[in-house]
Amino acid sequence: MRPSVYRSGGLGEAISYASRKTALGLMGMAATETGICFVQFGDDESSLLAMLTKEFPNAEISASSAQNAPELATWIKALEQHISEGIPRPDLPIDMRGTAFQLKVWRFLLSIPVGDVLSYSQLAEQINQPKAVRAVATACAKNRIAVLIPCHRILRSDGGLGGYRWGIDKKKMLLEREALVDEDHE
């Protein structure tokens, strides 16, 4: 999605969505023709749809069907299996949208190997912005593509979990599962 389209609330963009129960709760996923633009956790389908609509108020949003977005069913199943069964994170197309700084942070997050963690300050240093620790934390908090953009791998400097948009329990569970996956591959 081009930045101008994102800034216009997704005007002219067609977005398909679906939801599925996972080990972390109800997960909603949405995608454009380019790839996944939204992965969130919520209490029910209507709250997930409200989040998606708030993010893209001017987009044409529709429930996924096999005719409109056959990939979405496969993608949501692959991510659910990663979360629930611990299989490796699927390599799915992602349609990231945000500021240039957010995109820089999110792209770096994609390079962090399973089982590894960094602090917010280490992440700031890695992207050559050592004084931007708060901005890095804000970029992580603005991530709308849970798990696929692994902001859960960023901790406080003291090793504490810090915050997580979808709750500390989910962050802890993801890190524990990834540690197990990493041990299996050693």
Q: Which residues are catalytic?
A: 151
Dihedral sign for Cα 159, 162, 168, 174, please.
Answer: negative
